[in-house]
A and B are shown apart, each in its own frame.
Chain A
Amino acid sequence: MSDKPIIIEDETPKAQSPFSEAWGMFRRNHAALVALFVLAVIVFMAIFGPLLYPTDPFEMVWAPFSPPGQEGFLLGTDYLGRDLLAMVINGAKVSLLIGLAAALVSIFIGVSIGALAGFYRGWVEELLMRITEFFQVLPTLLFSMVIVALFGASLPMITLAIGIVSWTAVARITRSEFLRIRELEYVMAARACGVSNTRLMFGVILPNALPPIIVQSALMVGSAILFEAGLSFLGLTDPNVVSWGQIIGSNRQYILDASYTVTIPGVAIFITVLAISLVGDGLNDALNPKLRQR
């Protein structure tokens, strides 16, 4: 104790974790904050809606094409006389789940490929990036239709199909971040501590590469929901579950006579995807170090 220097430290502001700092930045983006609230409401509805409004979305409850607000049905009935409100509520779960799961699939594929390519360089990078480019030039809708048509229109297959066609952007972002970070001094310092390659990749470099990947993933959930809607509209969907795209698809013949049957789920998709995009935008603000000092 005696030979220790006595250091008087002035009171520094309480340690702020990167998380709370990011939240502070996120809060400043008002549009993103509103969007986050809207998204929270949608998610709440998707989870608890079927309990609060227990009408079976597949049951014929009234005469077909009864417009919204009449006969006691808030959003009216579709061409088979099913309650549109119940369908939209139940469809939320499927749309969100597919969006989320498909985004996870593409993040998993994209991050793995991008990380390997950016870390090992050389022929590994060459090979993986050519594969990425191959997937990039495939017409995505056509390719996913082929997958669904070949392997059946079940929810997991649709999720997989969307994931498989949309991972390229993640792979490229991950690779570029890895190329940048692998040259930084703390990676060399970690090597000098005897850290294995796997841990270097996923324990050292990946956490530092996450911000742009997170932003991209948020946006991908939105585009995956749109993608699912597109596939459902074309009839490539599981007929035993309701999703927003499927409501639009099954009512599309009556678009002129009962436009609300198509408009209402369309608006649901629009609001959800917009909210996700705005949240993604807020995340970009929150996680982008260049914007942090403003």
Chain B
Amino acid sequence: MALLEVENLRIELTTRDGTAPVIDDLSFTLEAEETLSFVGESGCGKSMTALALMGLLPEGIGRVAGGHIRFNGEELTTATPARLREIRGNDISMIFQEPMTSLNPVFTVGEQIAEVLRAHQGLSRSAAWDQAVELLDAVRIPNPKGRAGDYPFQMSGGQRQRAMIAIALACQPKILIADEPTTALDVTVQAQIFDLLRDLRRQTGTSIIMITHDMGAVAEMAERMIVMYAGRQAEIGPVEQIIDHARHPYTQGLISCVPHIQAVLTDDRPDLVEVPGIVPSLREFGKDQCLFASRCAHVTQTCLDARPPQKAFSAGQIADCWHAEAF
């Protein structure tokens, strides 16, 4: 049994124009000690998926309209708020995009880590503090003993993201959801954070769900990836295979706009190409057609008439495109 199973998940957002499915029929599994990456532009439903897994959809606006989320076989879509609170931080935890604002400014970093340990594991004040210092050391913050007493504003962006990771890993969760963990950081720090996440995964066996729009990060971090477009899965499969041979024009577009992701620059891809156009607005979501059609160079009448079926290829690669075999 997979650690996490998501089956036909549908999430609806209530907007002024009615309800729109921000996640439409999404299914995937996550194995233990695996890194799975969600890729896509802004507004494709990556973060919504993460929030849904945590049971943190915006109250009164978003709701799970159908499907299942099973963690270790336990259904999460119908779990009580108390049970979800127990799972959050303990079994599934999350780090956010903006390390500058995701730490509480009025408490020291050590206090914030210790707080989680005390809440979930019932440690004493001093034991929790000692472990907080150890965690800061584990995420490679120099002089952890001294820095534990620092307030977030005294730390740099990279250090704060490390502190966030320390909080997220405090209770040794089974799954760590990283929502664009390096977007706000500069490139050298990004590399350090990726190194750190990889090492920590090796040491603790935590599965990681990484949400990003950076194909380079995916190639570096993940074994499998899901490309999301307009709330739907566009393509899913092993990272290397998809980068090597993407079956969905959107995936191809995402790959071709990153320099040097393929080892050799071939003649048929001399320039960096961008994907023209923008993600359709929420009102378009849920239509029975290929939502990428308006931006696709290979569009045919079929694409506009019906939603593309899932076409399976070798090694579990699945592409939602009418013409997947042709690519």
Q: Give residues in A with beta carbon < 8 Å to B.
A: 4-5, 7, 9, 12, 15, 17-18, 122, 184-186, 188-196, 199, 203-204, 207-208
**Does B194 belong to the interface (CB within 8 Å)?**
no
CA distance A199 to B120 in the complex (A): 13
Beta-carbon contact of A207 and B96 below 8 Å: no
Beta-carbon contact of A193 and B102 below 8 Å: no
Cβ–Cβ < 8 Å partners of B116 in chain A: 193-194
B177 closest partner in A (C-beta): A192
Beta-carbon contact of B140 and A192 below 8 Å: no
Selected contact of B96 from candidates A188, A199, A204, CB within 8 Å: A188
Known: A9-B142, A189-B96, A189-B164. A194 touches B88 (CB 8 A): yes
Which of the listed residues A17, A188, A192, A208 has the most CB atoms from chain B within 10 Å of its own CB? Answer: A192
The total of interchain contacts (Cβ-Cβ below 8 angstroms) comes to 76
Beta-carbon contact of A185 and B88 below 8 Å: no
B143 closest partner in A (C-beta): A9
In the assembled complex, 30 residue pairs joining A and B whose CB atoms fall closer than 8 Å, in A order, are: A18-B106, A185-B96, A186-B101, A186-B103, A188-B96, A189-B94, A189-B96, A191-B56, A191-B88, A192-B56, A192-B93, A192-B94, A193-B88, A193-B89, A193-B116, A193-B119, A193-B167, A193-B168, A194-B86, A194-B89, A194-B90, A194-B119, A194-B120, A195-B85, A196-B85, A199-B119, A207-B104, A207-B106, A208-B104, A208-B105
CA distance A17 to B98 in the complex (A): 23
Cβ–Cβ < 8 Å partners of B102 in chain A: 185-186, 188-189
Which of the listed residues A4, A9, A191, A199 has the most CB atoms from chain B within 10 Å of its own CB? Answer: A191
Determine how close the nearest CB of chain B comes to the CB of A213; give it in whole angstroms: 13
CA distance A187 to B215 in the complex (A): 30
- The number of chain B residues touching the other chain, given as a range, is 35 or more
Determine how close the nearest CB of chain B comes to the CB of A191; give it in whole angstroms: 6
Cβ–Cβ < 8 Å partners of B119 in chain A: 193-196, 199
B44-61 interface bits toward A, Cβ cutoff 8 Å, 1 = contact, 0 = none: 000000000010100010
Determine how close the nearest CB of chain B comes to the CB of A293; give it in whole angstroms: 13
Task: In the A-B complex, list the 6 residue pairs whose CB atoms are closest, starting with the nearest.
Answer: A194-B89, A194-B88, A193-B89, A192-B94, A189-B102, A185-B101
**Does B66 belong to the interface (CB within 8 Å)?**
no
Beta-carbon contact of B93 and A204 below 8 Å: no
* Known A5-B192, A122-B60; further 8 A-B contacts with Cβ < 8 A: A4-B140, A5-B140, A189-B94, A189-B167, A192-B56, A192-B89, A195-B89, A196-B85
Known: A188-B56, A191-B56. A207 touches B107 (CB 8 A): yes
**Does B149 belong to the interface (CB within 8 Å)?**
yes
CA distance A290 to B93 in the complex (A): 34
Cβ–Cβ < 8 Å partners of A15 in chain B: 149-151, 154
Which of the listed residues B106, B116, B120, B167 has the most CB atoms from chain A within 10 Å of its own CB? Answer: B106
CA distance A208 to B152 in the complex (A): 14
**Does B296 belong to the interface (CB within 8 Å)?**
no
Cβ–Cβ < 8 Å partners of A189 in chain B: 94, 96, 102-103, 164, 167
Cβ–Cβ < 8 Å partners of A12 in chain B: 154
**Does B293 belong to the interface (CB within 8 Å)?**
no
Beta-carbon contact of B89 and A17 below 8 Å: no
B107-151 interface bits toward A, Cβ cutoff 8 Å, 1 = contact, 0 = none: 100000001100110000000000000000000101100000111
**Does B87 belong to the interface (CB within 8 Å)?**
yes
Cβ–Cβ < 8 Å partners of B149 in chain A: 15
CA distance A4 to B87 in the complex (A): 32
Determine how close the nearest CB of chain A comes to the CB of B184; give it in whole angstroms: 11
Cβ–Cβ < 8 Å partners of B84 in chain A: 194
Cβ–Cβ < 8 Å partners of A4 in chain B: 140
Cβ–Cβ < 8 Å partners of A192 in chain B: 54, 56, 88-89, 93-94, 96
CA distance A203 to B85 in the complex (A): 16
Beta-carbon contact of B104 and A190 below 8 Å: yes
CA distance A117 to B90 in the complex (A): 29
Cβ–Cβ < 8 Å partners of B140 in chain A: 4-5
Determine how close the nearest CB of chain B comes to the CB of A210; give it in whole angstroms: 8
Cβ–Cβ < 8 Å partners of B164 in chain A: 189
CA distance A208 to B103 in the complex (A): 12
CA distance A184 to B98 in the complex (A): 11
Cβ–Cβ < 8 Å partners of A199 in chain B: 119
Known: A7-B142, A17-B151. A194 touches B85 (CB 8 A): yes
B145-173 interface bits toward A, Cβ cutoff 8 Å, 1 = contact, 0 = none: 00001110010000000001001100000
CA distance A193 to B143 in the complex (A): 25
Cβ–Cβ < 8 Å partners of A204 in chain B: 104
Cβ–Cβ < 8 Å partners of B120 in chain A: 194
Cβ–Cβ < 8 Å partners of A5 in chain B: 140, 192
CA distance A9 to B54 in the complex (A): 37
Cβ–Cβ < 8 Å partners of B103 in chain A: 186, 189
